[in-house]
Amino acid sequence: MHRISALAFSILALSIGSAAADPNIKGSYGFTGTAACVVAPGHVGDPNTPPPLPNPTPGVALPNSGFNANLQVKDVAGSFSRSFAVEGIRTFNGNGTGTVKGTAVGIAVKPTPGPNGFPHFPPSASSADFSFQFTYTVNADGSWTSQMVPGSYAETFTAGPRTAQTAVVDAIPPVSGMISRDGETLIAAHLAPVIETHSYSNGDVDPEICHRSRVFIKLKDRGGDHDDDDHDHH
């Protein structure tokens, strides 16, 4: 009897150890979150003296765009900030891949570039629908990391000055976070500032650095997820 009990305990311990060493996330999670970006498009012409100018290099970033080695904007006159909130669904396939669909509502506040030279625009608000694919890794300590699949980001503006325009981002920086004990809640954020490039269908190309944070909650069966009782686990 003692040997049987010891064997059973050993098997149980091995099973628990294996599960702890190989956790997983699967299913659809609703998310909300906030973000803000420092945008560094550079500029041409005098932002305070007429005339307003068109983009001289559509589809190509301006020579004085971007950031220096200390992550400061190279050109102050053309820089601005924007912030936005998001809501959507992140679906984990259970095999290290997944998809994201959501909506962002944002604002660009004073001071904005211009009113002359290029770029030039007043403070404004906007909304956009976006989607992308991602890969993810779940760690034995209950943490997880995710990275956007390059080339998978798509965005369509539904309100504001860019209505009907589309946009892409070269690569949203990786996010890292933690998983609740029951797997029903996740959190994630960027852990380091990374330069990304936002390119718009009208030819604007904006290097930017953003911070993002997200909270995810497990959704009930949506017709394709049959893992509501599977708590292995944007």
The confidence score (pLDDT) of residue 16 equals 36
The confidence score (pLDDT) of residue 220 equals 87
What single-letter DSSP state applies at residue 6? H
> 117 φ, ψ to 5°?
65, -155
In this structure, the number of other CB atoms found within 10 A of the CB of residue 221 comes to 11
| Structural domain boundaries enclosing 52 | 25-218
Residue 49, domain member (yes or no): yes
Q: What is the CATH number of the domain that holds 131?
A: 2.40.160
Residue 208, domain member (yes or no): yes
Give Cβ neighbours of residue 145 (< 8 Å, ≥ 6 apart).
136, 137, 139, 174, 175, 176, 177
Residue 4, domain member (yes or no): no
The confidence score (pLDDT) of residue 164 equals 98
Helix and strand element counts for the chain (H, E): 1, 11
Residue 17, domain member (yes or no): no
Structural domains in the chain (count):
1
pLDDT in tens, 93-108: 999 999 999 999 999 9
Residue 158, domain member (yes or no): yes
Residue 229, domain member (yes or no): no
The confidence score (pLDDT) of residue 224 equals 46
Do residues 37 and 225 touch, judged by C-beta distance below 8 A?
A: no
Q: What is the pTM of this model?
A: 0.85
Instruction: Decide: helix, strand or coil at residue 170.
Output: coil
- Where helices occur in 66-135 by DSSP H, the ranges are none
Which tokens in the block code for residue 32?
A: 């909300």
- 10-residue averages of pLDDT along the chain (234 residues): 45 37 82 98 96 97 98 97 98 97 98 97 98 97 97 98 98 96 96 98 98 97 49 38
pLDDT in tens, 106-157: 999 999 999 999 999 999 999 999 999 999 999 999 999 999 999 999 999 9
Which tokens in the block code for residue 233?
A: 């686990």
Residue 193, domain member (yes or no): yes
The confidence score (pLDDT) of residue 223 equals 52
